Structure 1
Amino acid sequence: MGLTPNREVFITCAVTGAGDTTSRSDKVPVTPRQIADECIAAANAGAAIAHIHVRDPKTGKGSRDIALYTEVVEHIKASGVDMVLNLTAGMGGDLTLGSVEQPMPPSPNGTDMAGATERLEHVAKLRPEICTLDCGTMNFGEGDYVMTNTPAMLKAMAAQIQALGVRPEVEIFDTGHLLLAKWLYDQKLLDDPVMVQLCMGIPWGAPDDIGTLLALTNNLPSNWTFSAFSIGRNQMPYAAMAMLAGGNIRVGLEDNIWLDKGVLATNGPLVERAVKVAEGMGAKILGPQEVRERMKLTKGW
């Protein structure tokens, strides 16, 4: 079977995330202005989509504060720089068990469980073109933290996202998550064109080897649009891998804080490097308006 690389590629930049990367790099943006500025830098470097989390400016930890999202979006709007906004809706599904001997009650440190409507309050207010839908439950790290997204929660969130007219980007962290995405689609809770992000190399989800990537892409419906990324040192090799598999690219400080060995990154240079990889492989880089047309996005912000 021959390769069918993607020749028209869009780049998503995940500018900050919610993990404890701030303790390892002072380049990770924390305040709304810093996050907005990194989105603008990524767009100027060639990213069509900015994937946005917000952080508590005082602690640096991930937040669901609507005021922080609003401030980020307003800064971006005021800049006049065009980009597709993709707001996370993953926050609010964080469960940390008490201990291996006494799992209940959950630990207040690291637990943030919210209902479907509350998890989508910022999406309902700001109406971004895209928001994420984490399509499954999964262990993270070596402790007692579980990313929690039950089938009932996914159905409720997908229905609300659909009613808002926002395009969900379905986050696939493992092979079973793809089955959940197909299940949602069969219930008419995901509209065409379906947009998928393959999140590879995250313990304990799908590993970032070629075989697992192909196992996922070979089981994606042919009319679904996907991007793929890996974390850490494999972020840039996965820019090429995603293209070769027929998909699009994601880079950014959410997934990788390094530009080179010993050199901390910012988002703009990571996007610039991804552009070089894609163009070096003969691909055209799509801009935000081309992505809107391709994905039938509704600009509400």
Structure 2
Amino acid sequence: MSKVIITCAVTGSAHTPTMSKYLPLTPDAIAEQAIEAAEAGAAILHLHARDPQDGRPTADPRVFSQFVPRIQAYTDAVINITTGGSVHMSLADRLAYALEISPELCSLNMGSMNFSLHPVARKITDWRYAWEKPYVEAFEDSIFRNTFKDIKQILQVLGEERGTRFEFECYDVGHLYNLAFFINEGLLKPPLFIQSIYGILGGMGPDPENLMLMRTTADRLFGRENYRFSVLGAGKHQMPLAATSAVMGGNVRVGLEDSLYLGKGELAVSNAEQVRKIRRILEELSLEIATPDEARAMLGLKGRDKVNF
């Protein structure tokens, strides 16, 4: 079994400020939590941006530029810039910062889908900011769009033209087949980094049997030697599914984008706290943690010296 890559998704775009006072919102908070997560053992930092005034998701390159170069300066972690943004952003908005800096790694959702957490709005009565409730409720009638044409464009302008590789976010078995299609089209080559995702409303459920199905399907489509498998469990499923992935020879993703909690009823006070917990679990299982440079080699990345910071 190879070393385990820990990815930390620092803030995301789904959770809102009311849901946790520990969710990093400002450039300073995002940078500080990302740097601490890297120090705790995260080899990859998956990054979104927030409006510093009220914490709403933003794709503004000017906001990204207030924290990404700082993270790059203080850590050797792989910087992974989202191309997903949020369901309320256009493709042009979602790509703007990545096209500007040509990062080593970007996320890439492998299909259009319903993606929602609108039931959460029924549980909250006192919102910190006025934008939050309508934003969460709007998920009920929103679709995350990534058509075949959208995906092809991302692969060409970031992958072919800029040498960026991808964290392929797969929320269902069909997304693996979409990925196989683009390989057959000649737009991708190994090694692939497949982030399988469980427990999002609109995607695949968090049952361990689904994890097994995704892994065996990926084996059949790509050959195990041609990809790295990782697991994202949403909410309370974060740690159990991550541990299951590691035991199966896979990699793991944690962070406040995916879950606001450390344990039952206990909010995580930082991203690093989740990184330290999964690292402790992995080391108790006698598994070794990959360094950023080891992750670069495993994923075939171009190197931190070839980005435009």
Give TM-score scaled by structure 1 length: 0.88
Q: Does 1:158 align with 2:155?
A: yes
Structure 1 residues 1-301: aligned runs within 5 Å: 6-79=1-74, 81-91=75-85, 94=87, 111-115=88-92, 118-141=93-116, 143-162=140-159, 163-220=161-218, 221=222, 222=224, 223-265=226-268, 266-298=270-302, 299=304, 300=307, 301=309
Indicate if the aligned counterparts of 1:89 and 1:120 stay in contact, CA closer than 8 A.
yes
Q: Which letter maps to 1:165?
A: G
- Counterpart CA distance in 2 for 1:69 and 1:177 is 28
- Counterpart CA distance in 1 for 2:230 and 2:72 is 25
Indicate if the aligned counterparts of 2:91 and 2:150 stay in contact, CA closer than 8 A.
no
Indicate if the aligned counterparts of 1:15 and 1:39 stay in contact, CA closer than 8 A.
yes
SS, match of residue 65 in structure 2 = helix
The alignment yields a C-alpha RMSD, in angstroms, of 1.4
The equivalent residue for 2:129 is none
Give ranges in structure 2 of 5+ residues lacking alignment.
Answer: 119-139
- Counterpart CA distance in 1 for 2:210 and 2:178 is 17
Indicate if the aligned counterparts of 2:7 and 2:46 stay in contact, CA closer than 8 A.
yes
- Counterpart CA distance in 1 for 2:52 and 2:191 is 36
- Counterpart CA distance in 2 for 1:177 and 1:22 is 31
- Counterpart CA distance in 2 for 1:55 and 1:190 is 31
SS, match of residue 23 in structure 1 = helix
Structure with greater helix percent: 2
**Deviations, residues 237-290 of structure 1 (Å, cap 9, x unaligned):** 112111123210100000111113332211111000100111111111010011
Q: 1:7 to 1:276 in 2, by over 3 A?
A: farther
**Deviations, residues 145-173 of structure 1 (Å, cap 9, x unaligned):** 11111111111111112121011111101
Give ranges in structure 1 of 5+ residues lacking alignment.
Answer: 1-5, 95-110
Q: How far is 1:7 from its partner?
A: 4.5
Percent identical among aligned pairs is 36
Q: Which runs of 4+ in 1 moved over 3 A?
A: none
